[in-house]
Amino acid sequence: MTATNYLNHFKIASRNIGSRLSSKTVAPIRDIILELTTSNPEVDIWMIQEIRLYNQLQLQQLKNTLKSKNIMVIMHHYSDLTAFIVFSPYQELKFDLLELTNEEIINVAHRVSSLSIRLFSGESVLLLNFYLPSGNYNAQKTIMESVSAQLSNLQKKNERYLILGGDYNHVLDPQKDVLVPKDRVLAPIYRPEKDIIEFMTQFIEKFQLQDGFRLKNPTRVEPTNQQGPDMIQRRLDRFYFSLNLNSKFHGYSLLQENRCISTHVTISMLFRINKKSPLTVGPSRFCLSRTLLGDSDFMQYLNRPISSSNRSGFQLWDFQMNYIRQQVGIFKRALRTIRNHSQNEIAPSVSVGAEDHDWTLEKKLKFRLRGPDLQEYIINMVSASGQQLTTTEDMLQEATCFYKQLFSSMPSHRIQYDFISSFEPTLNLLEQNKLEAPFTENELYQQLQQIKKYTATGLDGISYYGLVSLWETLGPSLTMAANYILETGTLPLSMQKVIIRLIKKSPKSAGTIGDFRPISVTTCALRLLSSCFETRLKSSATTLIDAAQTGFIQGRSIDNTINMVGMVMTELTKPSTDIDDYACFVALDFHKAFDSVSHDYLNELLAHINCGHRARNFLMAITTQQTAQVTINNCLGEEFVLNSGTRQGNPVSPFLFILSLETLLSKINQNLEGASFLGHRFRLAYAAYADDVIIFCKNQQDQQRLLQLLETFGQDSGLVINKHKSKIFYYRTPPLEKILPFPAQCLDLESFSYLGIPMKEADENYDPWKKKLRDLLAQIYLAPTSDLSIMVTIKLMNVFIFSQLYYMDLHSPISAAAIKEIYKKIQGCLPFRIAIDRLLTPKHLGGFGLINIASQVKGKRGKQIYHLFTHSHDPLVRAFKFKLQLTINEVLQPFIKQDSSLEGTSIFPWFRFLCDIKPLCPLGKKQFQQRVFSKLSKSALSWLKAWFDITSYHGPYIYETISHMSGQEYESLFEEDFTYILQHVEGVDGKALTEGSFHHLSQKLSSKLPIIPKGWSSNTELQFITSLQWKRFWSRLSDLQTENLGSLQTYHLFVLGYYSHYPFYKPVSSTSSNRSSATFFLGNIAREALSQVENNQEASQNSEDVVTNQSTHIPSCRFCQMDASDHIGHHAFECQDTLSLWPFGQFPQRSYSFVIGNSQNTDEQYFLINKYLGVLLNQVKRRQR
């Protein structure tokens, strides 16, 4: 469906979900609804049948959780078996929901529900959702008679169009609605079924309805209840609608499904609302799709060599871009011709007009958590004058005018910029030459291999995947074009166009142009060149940008900025700290920061830092040689020149921006006193992460100087301060006299956050994790995982949930109790109660690979201490070393006697403390360590404890632990690196310490032993399986699931023993544990094995795969009736009635040793065993019911 059709059509779908819901959670139903809605976003309204809830609280939970995803559940009572689901991002262009009075609501026996809507074209439509009782035709007739009577009364008062859908649980035509296998005979139809068929026929005639499927397929047999190829199948799910809607009816279809939810299929109908779409939507931009890129013949055709003898500079590149577009167009037209003339639709479905999505597992999980992109089309906007704009043309004009003005700054032609002339850092000769060097084809290709491929394409339609596939042809010409840019400072025509796409910042915002985030999309080829140049710039960035700026600089961390700001604020807010009344900090907000940088200012700055001519050509070309068009609903606005700003989305842009900003920050550092802390030993004038800047003012003079600097800088660089969003925070009550024109307030550390982190340190009365933990637990609970394999669920937790922990932990360490709560909540998301140690065990050892949070955060914490030895250029590192040394000095002061006859002081250096060396004093090592710990903040304490847990000192013995140092030597403790000491310190792997020693500690500290499931060794065939054999077996299973996580889950869980209990086996005694497993998975000696487990107290307390029973009685097999054999071992390996399910025939023989712990099987055999176990367990489960 095209975008225009989508916005002009109304689609309704019906689905029986066959729900089997536990009374404790609504997760399975929630996840089914999420899957249906996100997999079929073009459906506006869903009719859902057989939705089973157990109380009104569950219904409210279901409504609330789906409401957060913009999905509306219309269901009045938990006992209703039908519900309407409304998920229509552009509902206001299609229909309104009408409120029904009590007299108008049709709800019969909780099996029929109603919904009223008014289409955008004016028609009122009543929708009825049916779920009639299965097999009880008398009850069906009674319900339909009641519906008929209510409808008759309702239509007399206010006639409406009708749409009826759902699961009727009977056929209308026994000949056309039933599919009978060749070896089966259809049973005769008796009176009750004949009666409901006759009544339904009369009902349809009475209300002038027609069958949506039969209207398009008068004789076709297409069952909707598909129970299997050997079963009789019926068309039980149907749609009916009023004859008056016939002109709007546009089709009936079955929707594709990602997984089997129930035996029913999903049926849908499409209605056209108006002949013309209410919103103009243009065609999709040209894109060389992934589907075409996967066609080897077409790629070989496009990769044919093209003569380049008469083409130089940009000519060859621009020619190739036009050539590819032409060839794709020819292919597209040919494909359409084939389709139009093919009755059997033999042509493949190839997408050549729309961008493809790179559906990696991470992206699928992200899509599942966050749903589809609801910002694809913009349906309204508020103009600057407050007028509501509802047409694409008006919105495009408003946006174009705004951005044309934003980027229209005129050249200043200033002779000298004071901020630039006083800027001291410059490039050295080696760095200049590196930037000036010509591009090579190999350099570009290596960079292309490292780039994330799934990004939007520019107007040329060539993605990163396209560049890889066509590199044989495009590589040489792109290299030639890149070097021509270096020489001339101009861009090829195909790289000069920029698309500005608008994305609404918040669904709740008013919709003014300022409420949209502009995304500048350039061609992937230009982004590749920029990325390659940005790689060259990385080494120069640390030379040019001060350490107080941590944004976009390799080797610098946002955490250091946060910790430094927190350290300063904590000290200055103490009542005992003596500060000026005007002492404060200013949180700056730049107006349209990246879009406002003056090109003249940037060009002058690049020349000032000794950036060579060729490098400057390239940087200014990608910044100044481009024009832009705003795109709204696939329509392009007027083209305009980009006279200011750096392009967001271009890899070099962040560096160019922070370089421009650095001239201001350098001037602030030179002219402001800033904040003094740690006994006036350290001074901090500013802290910055990209454009998130905090300026520290010591007094009134600092504020006056800052005001002047900001005004002058805005005039010179174009970076103007937003006076309404910038704020001043005073450490004490704000003074009456106001100097800076920003809103002012007194700092409250508990409510103030910087870069998303609360600045108040945790104490007995304040826990910054309280709100965060509540949010994380809610995310885990609401994550739609009930249909995912366990390994995929664990990956979701590792990637999307745990990643939110680490950032905050460095500043406010997470507690063991909080980690335990997170694990407990994750356990609740899984189909079995799996012990934490098994979840944490690596996949190649039989576990599930859940990250050990405690180990992972320990590595990140310990790395902060590692930087004390290696990162003395960082202001936070120097400050922390000084603070640690002061603490050590304070603890040892009573025990170190200072010699007044000598210059300097006697101390125990901080690095010896970190090497776990005991000072020469009466205190024991642990006692000394604890006294130091007691004087530090919780975050610093967590870093040190992690450091001591990870590292161990193996250097020479230190006899004289107390050193006498001169003043200069003492200063060097904080200003110099001490990397030489690290050669004597080892990490958890027993190797010399490096930064990598702190990475992936969850893996490094995980169990190295394979899981050996209890019980199998009691079988005579399996008692000699060694630990090494188990390790090889688990490793094979893990390797086979690398591409498709959880594809062997049934096999994996079977070996671990999770199929020995309910719902596969009922407890054999009324006194058995609630955790349910009655028998274990052994064969001939099941009784003896069970008795052995019962006597094992540890197993009954700690193992979730076996739960003991007070009774050793095992029932007879439900298949072959063998005594005491109703357990999974018998059914899988011994029962003759299940032997027919074994996929290998006579060989290999169905045996324990072939399935359990066997690493010698082929890949195919592993998957066949997994399939066999799945079918077997379904049979067992069905028998238990």
Q: Mind listing the pLDDT tens digit for each residue in 16-34?
A: 998 655 556 788 898 899 8
Question: Are 1047 and 1167 within 8 A, CB to CB?
Answer: yes
- Helix (DSSP H) and strand (DSSP E) numbers for the chain: 42, 34
Partners of 12 in the beta sheet?
Answer: 45, 269
Question: Are 841 and 923 within 8 A, CB to CB?
Answer: no
Q: What is the C-alpha separation between 178 and 1047, in angstroms, rounded?
A: 35
Question: Are 1072 and 1109 within 8 A, CB to CB?
Answer: yes
Q: What is the pLDDT of residues 503-547, one digit of tens each?
A: 888 777 778 998 898 888 999 999 999 999 999 999 899 999 999
Q: What is the pLDDT of residues 823-833, one digit of tens each?
A: 999 999 898 88
Q: Is the peptide bond before 919 cis (omega within 30 degrees of 0)?
A: no
> What is the b/e burial string over 805-834, where b = at least 16 CB atoms within 10 angstroms of the residue's CB?
bbebbbbbbbeeebbebbbebbbebbeeeb
Q: What is the C-alpha separation between 589 and 591, in angstroms, rounded?
A: 7
Q: What is the C-alpha separation between 558 and 690, in angstroms, rounded?
A: 10
Positive or negative, the Cα torsion across 568, 569, 570, 572? positive
pLDDT at 354 over 50: no
pLDDT at 664 over 70: yes
Query: What share of the chain in percent tops pLDDT 70?
Result: 91
Query: Taking each helix axis from N to C terminus, what angle separates 769-782 and 816-828, rounded to the nearest 10 degrees?
Result: 10
Dig out the tokens for 955 from the structure. 């250097």
Q: 3-state DSSP call for residue 413?
A: coil
Nearest CA among 872, 821, 901 for reference residue 981: 872
Q: What is the C-alpha separation between 989 and 457, in angstroms, rounded?
A: 44
186/480: higher pLDDT:
480
pLDDT at 1099: 38
Q: 225 φ, ψ to 5°?
A: -110, 95
What one-character-per-residue DSSP string does 828-870 give? HTSSS---HHHHHS-GGGTS-----HHHHHHHHHHHHHHHHHH
Q: What is the pLDDT of residues 776-788, one digit of tens each?
A: 998 898 888 887 8
What one-character-per-residue DSSP string does 718-771 give? S--B-TTT-EEEESSSPPSS--SSS-EEE--TTT-EETTEE-SPPBTTB-THHH
Residue 681 makes CB contacts below 8 A (sequence gap 6+) with: 882
Question: Are 163 and 207 within 8 A, CB to CB?
Answer: no
Q: 3-state DSSP call for residue 816?
A: helix
Residue 429, burial from CB neighbour count under 10 angstroms (0-12, 13-18, 19+): exposed
Residue 776 makes CB contacts below 8 A (sequence gap 6+) with: 801, 804, 805, 822
pLDDT at 1071 over 50: no
Q: What mean pLDDT is reported for the chain?
A: 88
What is the pLDDT averaged over residues 852-873?
Answer: 96
Q: What is the pLDDT of residues 536-587, one digit of tens each?
A: 999 899 999 999 999 999 989 999 999 999 999 999 999 989 999 999 999 9
CA distances from 900 to 51, 436, 886 (A): 86, 59, 20
Question: Are 628 and 277 within 8 A, CB to CB?
Answer: no
Q: What is the C-alpha separation between 294 and 679, in angstroms, rounded?
A: 66
Question: Are 505 and 517 within 8 A, CB to CB?
Answer: yes
CA distances from 944 to 312, 500, 948, 1091 (A): 61, 48, 6, 49
Q: What is the pLDDT of residues 304-331, one digit of tens each?
A: 877 666 677 788 899 999 989 888 888 8
What does the chain come to in residues? 1185
What is the pLDDT averaged over residues 1109-1121?
Answer: 73
Nearest CA among 714, 699, 726, 710 for reference residue 587: 726
Dig out the tokens for 450 from the structure. 């490292």
- Round to the nearest angstrom and report the end-to-end CA distance of the chain: 44
Q: What is the pLDDT of residues 535-547, one digit of tens each?
A: 999 989 999 999 9
What is the pLDDT averaged over residues 1066-1077?
Answer: 44
pLDDT at 1100: 35
Question: Are 565 and 687 within 8 A, CB to CB?
Answer: yes
Q: What is the C-alpha separation between 584 and 732, in angstroms, rounded?
A: 8
CA distances from 602 to 483, 541, 622, 623, 657 (A): 22, 15, 12, 10, 9
pLDDT at 260 over 90: no
pLDDT at 414 over 90: no
pLDDT at 1083: 41
Q: What is the pTM of this model?
A: 0.84
User: What are the structural domains, with CATH classification, of the chain?
Assistant: 3-272 (3.60.10.10), 279-356+369-406+426-544+599-643 (no CATH), 411-417+546-596+651-757 (3.30.70.270), 769-857 (no CATH), 861-998 (no CATH), 1016-1184 (no CATH)
Q: What is the C-alpha separation between 992 and 682, in angstroms, rounded?
A: 33
Q: What is the C-alpha separation between 24 and 61, in angstroms, rounded?
A: 11
Residue ranges with strand state E in 177-263? 178-179, 209-211, 233-234, 237-242, 249-255
CA distances from 527 to 623, 648, 649 (A): 12, 11, 8
pLDDT at 342 over 80: no
Q: What is the C-alpha separation between 1099 and 1095, in angstroms, rounded?
A: 9
* Type and span of the H or E element at 116: strand 112-119
Dig out the tokens for 169 from the structure. 């649980």
Distance of alpha carbon 1057 from its chain centroid, rounded?
33
Q: What is the pLDDT of residues 638-656, one digit of tens each?
A: 999 999 999 888 999 999 9
pLDDT at 252 over 90: yes
Q: What is the C-alpha separation between 151 and 148, in angstroms, rounded?
A: 5
Q: What is the pLDDT of residues 105-125, one digit of tens each?
A: 888 899 999 999 999 999 999
Q: Is the peptide bond before 1063 cis (omega within 30 degrees of 0)?
A: yes
Residue 1039 makes CB contacts below 8 A (sequence gap 6+) with: 844
Nearest CA among 627, 623, 628, 629 for reference residue 600: 623
Q: What is the C-alpha separation between 853 and 824, in angstroms, rounded?
A: 13
